[in-house]
Amino acid sequence: MKCKTEAFDLWQYLCGEVFEPLIRCRMDFDGFIDEDILKNAVTQSLKTIPMIGLCFDGIKHKPRWIDKGFNGNDIVRVVKTDSKDDEQVVLRCLSAGIDFADEPQLKLFVVRKPDHDTICSVISHIVCDGAGFKQYLYLLSKLYTQLINRETVSAPAISYRGLKPLFADISLKERLKILCSKYSAYNASNKTQQRGVDFKEGAFVTAMERRILSAEDFDRLKIFAKANGATVNDIFMGLFARSFCKNTGTDKIMFPSTMDLRKFIPTGQEVGIGNYSSNCMCAVFVKREDTLADTVMQVSKQMRVHKSEKNILKSVMLWDFAAHIPWFLLKRNFSKVITHPIISFTNLGIIDAIALKFGKLKIRDVYMTASIKPRPYLQMNVSTFNDSCTLSCNIYGSKADEQFVHRLLDDMCLETITL
């Protein structure tokens, strides 16, 4: 099966020089999934998004997708465990990597516990972003439901997943204005100024930490956001900024927040499951006497500007141009031109409980998270399901780094509880 490489495919592949471009999802069920039907559903999903069953070759002079005949049988793996080491097995599966050149771009581990299953999904960011991953999970659950109910299986056809739809409603004059703007998604100063926490001594291990805010806590955040003319996302960014500054002794943090660009795609324009997101920079000063409302006001003011303008498309336009540079030159100069932020934040959004249904099997909990970043890189992740919210942070670092992440998450939760 032949698939075209898109500009953001190349971007995410090259980001692998610094950290793994992967997105993860954990789903805990009340019962057991039918693994044979799940494998069949994955195979059927290849009709809509074939890239998940392909390999990505970035070694040659021209990057390309390669078909090695993978299907659902290669992607779904059942891992049986007993109650003694359940969580360790889940975390090992959830932290799995992907060899883009030799493996499918998706791994689904069915961790079979004595009384229920947990599915750990890991997908290549080369294929899609967080919103795209949710689209895929909805598609997969729909196909699974159709198969288990013995209904007619309807996998949508492959849709265009390039960047052109983002500019369909933007005139040439507007594009030139965007290109001439001072907007920058990646600021070089971010790399030098955010080393408040650096590599610590000791053996390095993978740590995946998370905290769950209950529906009650989440409601409290919504009320606080409304009272302060902000969004819930602004609140989370403010909490993150305050916790980071408190635990590093700094009074300023600059970090990018991921923004979904699909709002720029004209209504009725069909696009496939792919990468349609970029970053908007946010600089926050945190004084000791500042309240959370003070911090959130700073965040909200900046985010409103980003959301009201189209300048965020500048980085996408520039990368679309850069993607036409000969591959060997692009690879050689990528790290010299692109500065990866040390600190970052992403809200993977709301996971739709209605759209995510595997037959009659009840889902206890779901959360999404992203890369396991080597210290000093650090990313805070947020996702929401059934009105409860999960904060997560994944690092590859020392025990001291892990303890730092613990404090970071604990302080964010503590300030939420005391609102």
Split at pLDDT 50, 70, 90, the class of 259 is very high
Q: What is the CATH number of domain 169-351+367-417?
A: 3.30.559.30
DSSP letter (8 states) at residue 309 = -
- Which pLDDT does position 202 carry in this prediction? 61
Q: Kindly state the average pLDDT of the residues 206-223.
A: 94
Per-residue pLDDT for 193 more than 50? no
Which of 164, 158, 98, 163 is closest to 125 using CA atoms?
Answer: 98
Q: 7-148 with 169-351+367-417: one CATH topology?
A: yes
* R_g of the chain computed on alpha carbons: 21
Domain boundaries, the chain: 7-148, 169-351+367-417
Looking at the domain 7-148, which fold is it? Answer: Chloramphenicol Acetyltransferase (3.30.559)
Residue 191 has pLDDT above 80, yes or no: no
pLDDT of residue 334: 87
The predicted pLDDT at position 61 comes to: 75
pLDDT of 270 over the 90 cut: no
The one-letter code for the residue type at 79 is V
In degrees, rounded to 5, the angle at the alpha carbon of residue 272 between the alpha carbons of residues 270 and 275 is: 120
pLDDT at residue 127, rounded to an integer: 97
Strand partners, 374: 396
Q: Is the pTM of this model over 0.85?
A: yes
Encode 188-247 in three state secondary structure: HHHHHHCCCCCCCCCCCEEEEEEEEECHHHHHHHHHHHHHCCCCHHHHHHHHHHHHHHHH
pLDDT digits (tens, 9 = 90+) for 52-107: 999 999 987 789 999 999 999 999 999 999 876 788 999 999 999 999 999 999 99
Q: Are 390 and 378 within 8 A, CB to CB?
A: no
pLDDT tens, position by position, 390-407: 999 999 988 889 999 999
What confidence score (pLDDT) does residue 192 get?
41
Residue 183 pLDDT > 80: no
pLDDT of 198 > 60? The answer is: no
186 pLDDT band (50/70/90 cuts)?
low
Q: Return the bridge partners of 108, or none.
A: 76, 121
**pLDDT level of residue 419 (50, 70, 90 thresholds):** confident
pLDDT of residue 266: 92
